[in-house]
Amino acid sequence: MLPITLLMLVLHAGAIAALFVFSWPAVLSAVVLYWLIGGLGVGIGYHRLLTHRSFKVSKPVEYALTVLGTLALQGGPIWWVVTHRLHHASTDGIDDPHSPRNGRWWSHMGWILHGYTLRHDISNAEQYAPELARDRFQVWMTRYHLVPPVLFGVALFAFGGLPFLMWGLFAGVTLLLHTTWMVNSVTHIWGRRRFETRDDSRNTWWVALLTFGEGWHNNHHAFPATARPGFAWYEVDVNWWCIRAMQMAGLASAVRLTGVDAKATAVNDAG
């Protein structure tokens, strides 16, 4: 679809342009924002909380994580959740929104350029995301999901001028888009399979590093509801560490651990 294609072109052009306004403070701020938006907003907020409900938080915390998620320019929360739940319902099957079996380019970016997520009407979300469809804030954020990124861009420009805008928004968000899409494409093509799931999911360590733990994708598909897909000590899962910290601080409760990860957590706690 033309609007999405134009948005992608602008973002990528802005990311390249950021190289011409290089500033170490701007780059460092982009690194921090990459974690806040990609780790807390997308990985923890959109994915592990809203989609899989692997833990519980208060509404103010849920809404704060949702706003952070919208800054990633990956669509509103209901669209994101519905798409991902469809992915799990038919992983690498006919109805999978972004399976590499339909083409590697399609799984990485093609489905976005065709406006797949925009096909989910909020009025029809009751089937796949009923709890979000009944939440006025989540409905509002889905309808006006571009408002936070625009305000975010204005704030970056006001704070640090053009370098902060180009690095914090254009370069950082563009990189985050691709690393998130790698979970859809790369981790269904390359990597190791610990569990014999019915799909092509794989654990890809370097994608896990780029996405703060989302690259342990075979583990995730074997136990979708777990808050900790990084089972082994060497499977770095920063998003799990953050959830654990939130739990210890009293911000998260009812943290769901299943099978292997529950045992690993118990061992770490004992140590």
pLDDT in the model for residue 144: 95
Measured distance CA(30)–CA(122) in Å, rounded? 32
Percent of the chain at pLDDT > 90 equals 86
Q: Are strands 56-57 and 252-253 parallel, antiparallel or unpaired?
A: antiparallel
pLDDT in the model for residue 269: 45
The pLDDT of residue 29 is above 50: yes
Mean pLDDT for the chain overall = 92
pLDDT in the model for residue 228: 96
pLDDT in the model for residue 125: 81
pLDDT in the model for residue 20: 97
pLDDT in the model for residue 266: 45
Percent of the chain at pLDDT > 70 equals 91
Beta bridge partners, 203, equal 192, 216
| pLDDT tens, residue by residue, 218-262 | 999 999 999 999 999 999 999 999 999 999 999 999 999 986 655
Beta bridge partners, 252, equal 57
The pLDDT of residue 268 is above 80: no
| pLDDT tens, residue by residue, 1-21 | 668 899 999 999 999 999 999
Beta bridge partners, 192, equal 203
Burial class of 19 by CB neighbour count within 10 A (0 to 12, 13 to 18, 19+): exposed
Q: Residue holding tokens 């790698």?
A: 182
Candidates 175, 237, 210; CA nearest to 27 is 175
Helix (H) or strand (E) segment spanning residue 83: helix 77-89
Measured distance CA(92)–CA(100) in Å, rounded? 7
| pLDDT tens, residue by residue, 136-183 | 999 999 999 999 999 999 999 999 999 999 999 999 999 999 999 999
- Rounded to whole angstroms, what are the CA distances from 153 to 9, 13, 22? 17, 16, 17
Beta bridge partners, 56, equal 253
| pLDDT tens, residue by residue, 107-120 | 999 999 887 665 55
3-state secondary structure at position 130: helix
